[in-house]
Structure 1
Amino acid sequence: MIEAAGYAPTIVQYRKVGWTRAKLEELLAAMGAKPRDVLREKGTPAAELRLVDSTVSDDAIIEAMIEHPILVNRPIVVTPKGTKLCRPSEAVLPLLDRVPAEFTKEDGEVVRL
Protein backbone atom coordinates (compact mmCIF):
# COMPACT_ATOMS: atom_id res chain seq x y z
CA MET A 1 0.00 0.00 0.00
CA ILE A 2 2.85 2.36 0.82
CA GLU A 3 4.44 1.74 -2.57
CA ALA A 4 1.04 2.08 -4.28
CA ALA A 5 0.84 5.56 -2.71
CA GLY A 6 4.11 6.48 -4.44
CA TYR A 7 6.54 6.06 -1.57
CA ALA A 8 9.79 4.10 -1.64
CA PRO A 9 9.90 2.61 1.86
CA THR A 10 13.00 1.34 3.59
CA ILE A 11 12.21 -2.23 4.55
CA VAL A 12 14.09 -3.76 7.45
CA GLN A 13 14.43 -7.53 7.11
CA TYR A 14 14.19 -7.99 10.87
CA ARG A 15 14.01 -11.77 10.69
CA LYS A 16 17.46 -11.75 9.07
CA VAL A 17 19.16 -8.86 10.87
CA GLY A 18 17.39 -9.22 14.21
CA TRP A 19 16.52 -6.58 16.77
CA THR A 20 18.50 -4.61 19.26
CA ARG A 21 17.06 -3.66 22.62
CA ALA A 22 17.60 0.00 21.76
CA LYS A 23 15.64 -0.25 18.49
CA LEU A 24 12.76 -2.16 20.06
CA GLU A 25 12.54 0.29 22.95
CA GLU A 26 12.69 3.23 20.52
CA LEU A 27 9.83 1.84 18.40
CA LEU A 28 7.73 0.96 21.45
CA ALA A 29 8.21 4.43 22.92
CA ALA A 30 7.29 6.07 19.61
CA MET A 31 4.09 3.98 19.48
CA GLY A 32 3.29 4.41 23.17
CA ALA A 33 3.16 0.61 23.29
CA LYS A 34 4.26 -2.18 25.58
CA PRO A 35 6.19 -5.22 24.29
CA ARG A 36 3.06 -7.37 24.70
CA ASP A 37 1.22 -5.02 22.29
CA VAL A 38 3.50 -6.11 19.43
CA LEU A 39 4.03 -9.73 20.49
CA ARG A 40 3.24 -12.05 17.62
CA GLU A 41 1.73 -15.30 18.87
CA LYS A 42 0.55 -17.09 15.73
CA GLY A 43 3.27 -19.07 13.99
CA THR A 44 5.88 -18.26 16.64
CA PRO A 45 7.32 -19.90 19.76
CA ALA A 46 5.48 -17.39 22.00
CA ALA A 47 3.33 -20.01 23.73
CA GLU A 48 6.19 -22.50 23.98
CA LEU A 49 8.29 -19.79 25.65
CA ARG A 50 5.34 -19.02 27.96
CA LEU A 51 5.26 -15.40 26.82
CA VAL A 52 1.48 -15.39 26.54
CA ASP A 53 1.19 -15.60 30.33
CA SER A 54 0.09 -12.18 31.59
CA THR A 55 2.65 -12.31 34.41
CA VAL A 56 5.65 -12.29 32.05
CA SER A 57 7.58 -9.04 32.39
CA ASP A 58 8.16 -6.53 29.59
CA ASP A 59 11.90 -7.13 29.97
CA ALA A 60 11.47 -10.88 29.45
CA ILE A 61 9.37 -10.29 26.34
CA ILE A 62 11.96 -7.91 24.89
CA GLU A 63 14.76 -10.39 25.60
CA ALA A 64 12.77 -13.11 23.83
CA MET A 65 12.12 -10.79 20.87
CA ILE A 66 15.86 -10.18 20.55
CA GLU A 67 16.55 -13.91 20.64
CA HIS A 68 13.58 -14.79 18.36
CA PRO A 69 12.91 -11.83 15.99
CA ILE A 70 9.76 -13.53 14.62
CA LEU A 71 8.05 -12.69 17.93
CA VAL A 72 7.66 -9.06 16.84
CA ASN A 73 4.44 -8.48 14.94
CA ARG A 74 4.74 -6.53 11.73
CA PRO A 75 4.75 -4.31 9.89
CA ILE A 76 5.78 -1.46 12.11
CA VAL A 77 5.71 1.68 9.99
CA VAL A 78 7.63 4.84 10.83
CA THR A 79 6.84 8.13 9.07
CA PRO A 80 7.09 11.80 10.04
CA LYS A 81 3.44 11.48 11.12
CA GLY A 82 4.14 8.72 13.62
CA THR A 83 5.01 5.10 14.31
CA LYS A 84 2.43 2.34 14.32
CA LEU A 85 1.91 -1.39 14.03
CA CYS A 86 -0.04 -1.44 10.78
CA ARG A 87 -2.22 -4.51 11.01
CA PRO A 88 -4.48 -4.59 9.08
CA SER A 89 -2.60 -2.83 6.31
CA GLU A 90 -5.18 -0.02 6.10
CA ALA A 91 -3.96 1.13 9.52
CA VAL A 92 -1.07 2.81 7.71
CA LEU A 93 -3.33 5.39 6.02
CA PRO A 94 -3.23 8.02 8.82
CA LEU A 95 0.59 7.91 8.63
CA LEU A 96 0.70 8.85 4.94
CA ASP A 97 0.39 12.27 3.33
CA ARG A 98 -1.02 10.68 0.18
CA VAL A 99 -2.89 7.44 -0.35
CA PRO A 100 -3.44 5.29 -3.42
CA ALA A 101 -6.82 5.22 -5.13
CA GLU A 102 -6.69 1.46 -4.77
CA PHE A 103 -4.26 -1.30 -3.92
CA THR A 104 -4.14 -5.07 -3.79
CA LYS A 105 -3.40 -6.73 -0.48
CA GLU A 106 -1.05 -9.71 -0.20
CA ASP A 107 -4.07 -12.04 -0.08
CA GLY A 108 -5.36 -10.63 -3.39
CA GLU A 109 -8.11 -8.46 -1.91
CA VAL A 110 -8.48 -5.19 -3.81
CA VAL A 111 -9.10 -2.17 -1.59
CA ARG A 112 -10.52 1.01 -3.16
CA LEU A 113 -10.22 4.21 -1.19
Structure 2
Amino acid sequence: MITVYHNPRCSKSRGACELIDDRLNRSGETVKVIEYLKEPPSIDDLKALHQMLGGSVRDMIRENETPFKELGLADVSLSDDQLYKAIAAHPILLQRPIVVRDGRAVIGRPPENIEVLFK
Protein backbone atom coordinates (compact mmCIF):
# COMPACT_ATOMS: atom_id res chain seq x y z
CA MET A 1 0.00 0.00 0.00
CA ILE A 2 1.06 3.56 -0.72
CA THR A 3 0.14 6.20 1.87
CA VAL A 4 0.18 9.90 1.06
CA TYR A 5 -0.03 12.54 3.80
CA HIS A 6 -1.74 15.14 1.67
CA ASN A 7 -2.97 18.71 1.74
CA PRO A 8 -5.25 19.29 -1.26
CA ARG A 9 -4.55 23.04 -1.15
CA CYS A 10 -0.83 22.45 -1.77
CA SER A 11 0.32 22.27 -5.39
CA LYS A 12 3.30 20.04 -4.50
CA SER A 13 0.99 17.65 -2.69
CA ARG A 14 -1.44 17.55 -5.60
CA GLY A 15 1.51 17.02 -7.95
CA ALA A 16 2.71 14.07 -5.88
CA CYS A 17 -0.71 12.41 -6.03
CA GLU A 18 -0.86 12.95 -9.80
CA LEU A 19 2.64 11.54 -10.26
CA ILE A 20 1.74 8.42 -8.30
CA ASP A 21 -1.55 7.95 -10.16
CA ASP A 22 -0.26 8.78 -13.64
CA ARG A 23 3.25 7.32 -13.71
CA LEU A 24 4.59 5.55 -10.67
CA ASN A 25 1.88 3.18 -9.47
CA ARG A 26 2.07 0.86 -12.46
CA SER A 27 1.14 -2.21 -10.42
CA GLY A 28 -2.10 -0.66 -9.18
CA GLU A 29 -1.26 -0.72 -5.48
CA THR A 30 -3.88 0.65 -3.12
CA VAL A 31 -3.26 4.34 -2.44
CA LYS A 32 -4.44 5.68 0.91
CA VAL A 33 -4.63 9.46 0.96
CA ILE A 34 -4.65 11.02 4.42
CA GLU A 35 -5.68 14.65 4.56
CA TYR A 36 -3.58 15.23 7.63
CA LEU A 37 -5.20 18.58 8.46
CA LYS A 38 -8.52 16.75 8.86
CA GLU A 39 -6.99 13.57 10.32
CA PRO A 40 -3.88 14.70 12.22
CA PRO A 41 -1.26 12.02 12.81
CA SER A 42 -0.77 10.89 16.38
CA ILE A 43 2.57 11.21 18.13
CA ASP A 44 3.13 7.50 17.48
CA ASP A 45 2.36 8.04 13.78
CA LEU A 46 4.85 10.92 13.68
CA LYS A 47 7.53 8.81 15.34
CA ALA A 48 6.97 6.04 12.79
CA LEU A 49 7.14 8.55 9.93
CA HIS A 50 10.34 10.01 11.36
CA GLN A 51 11.92 6.57 11.58
CA MET A 52 11.04 5.83 7.94
CA LEU A 53 12.21 9.24 6.75
CA GLY A 54 15.47 9.22 8.68
CA GLY A 55 17.18 12.51 9.41
CA SER A 56 16.08 14.95 12.04
CA VAL A 57 12.57 15.50 13.37
CA ARG A 58 13.11 19.10 12.30
CA ASP A 59 13.21 17.92 8.67
CA MET A 60 9.51 17.09 9.07
CA ILE A 61 8.60 20.63 10.14
CA ARG A 62 7.54 23.53 7.93
CA GLU A 63 9.38 26.49 9.39
CA ASN A 64 7.41 29.12 7.50
CA GLU A 65 4.11 28.37 9.24
CA THR A 66 2.80 30.75 11.91
CA PRO A 67 2.77 28.15 14.74
CA PHE A 68 6.49 27.55 14.19
CA LYS A 69 7.24 31.12 15.22
CA GLU A 70 4.50 31.38 17.86
CA LEU A 71 5.66 28.20 19.62
CA GLY A 72 9.34 29.12 19.49
CA LEU A 73 10.20 25.92 17.60
CA ALA A 74 13.43 27.42 16.28
CA ASP A 75 14.84 26.79 19.78
CA VAL A 76 17.43 24.05 19.18
CA SER A 77 17.20 22.92 22.81
CA LEU A 78 13.70 21.50 22.24
CA SER A 79 13.56 17.72 22.43
CA ASP A 80 12.20 15.46 19.72
CA ASP A 81 9.23 14.70 21.97
CA GLN A 82 8.44 18.41 22.25
CA LEU A 83 8.60 18.72 18.47
CA TYR A 84 6.33 15.68 17.98
CA LYS A 85 3.80 17.21 20.37
CA ALA A 86 3.89 20.51 18.48
CA ILE A 87 3.29 18.81 15.13
CA ALA A 88 0.49 16.67 16.56
CA ALA A 89 -1.20 19.74 18.03
CA HIS A 90 -0.59 21.87 14.91
CA PRO A 91 -0.56 19.52 11.91
CA ILE A 92 -0.05 22.46 9.53
CA LEU A 93 3.58 22.19 10.67
CA LEU A 94 4.03 18.81 8.98
CA GLN A 95 5.97 18.84 5.72
CA ARG A 96 3.87 17.85 2.74
CA PRO A 97 3.41 15.63 1.02
CA ILE A 98 4.93 12.65 2.77
CA VAL A 99 4.67 9.40 0.83
CA VAL A 100 5.12 6.00 2.47
CA ARG A 101 5.68 2.72 0.64
CA ASP A 102 7.21 -0.58 1.75
CA GLY A 103 8.43 0.76 5.10
CA ARG A 104 10.17 3.76 3.55
CA ALA A 105 9.07 7.37 3.34
CA VAL A 106 10.06 10.54 1.53
CA ILE A 107 8.99 14.14 1.57
CA GLY A 108 7.67 14.82 -1.92
CA ARG A 109 9.18 18.28 -2.38
CA PRO A 110 9.71 18.25 -5.27
CA PRO A 111 7.25 15.51 -6.25
CA GLU A 112 10.03 13.72 -8.19
CA ASN A 113 11.56 12.77 -4.81
CA ILE A 114 8.87 10.08 -4.64
CA GLU A 115 10.39 8.15 -7.53
CA VAL A 116 13.00 6.60 -5.21
CA LEU A 117 10.22 4.62 -3.49
CA PHE A 118 9.40 2.87 -6.77
CA LYS A 119 12.90 1.76 -7.73
TM-score by length of 2: 0.73
Change (3 A) 1:6 1:29: closer
**2-structure distance, mates of 1:80, 1:6:** 14
For 1:1-113, what aligned pairs fall within 5 Å after superposition? 1-5=19-23, 7=25, 9-80=31-102, 82-97=104-119
The range that moved more, 33-42 or 66-75, is 33-42
The one-letter code matched in structure 1 to 2:70 is E
SS in 1 for 2:113: helix
Greater Rg by CA: 1
Q: Which runs of 4 or more aligned residues in structure 1 lie more than 2 Å from their structure 2 counterparts after TM superposition?
A: 6-9
**2-structure distance, mates of 1:80, 1:62:** 23
**2-structure distance, mates of 1:5, 1:68:** 32
How far did 1:81 drift?
6.9
TM-score by length of 1: 0.77
Which runs of no fewer than 5 residues in structure 1 stay unpaired?
A: 98-113
The one-letter code matched in structure 1 to 2:78 is V
Number of aligned positions between the proteins = 97
Cα deviation digits, residues 40-75 of structure 1 (max 9, x gap): 122341011100222222111110111101111011
Which runs of no fewer than 5 residues in structure 2 stay unpaired?
A: 1-18
**2-structure distance, mates of 1:20, 1:55:** 23
**2-structure distance, mates of 1:84, 1:66:** 19
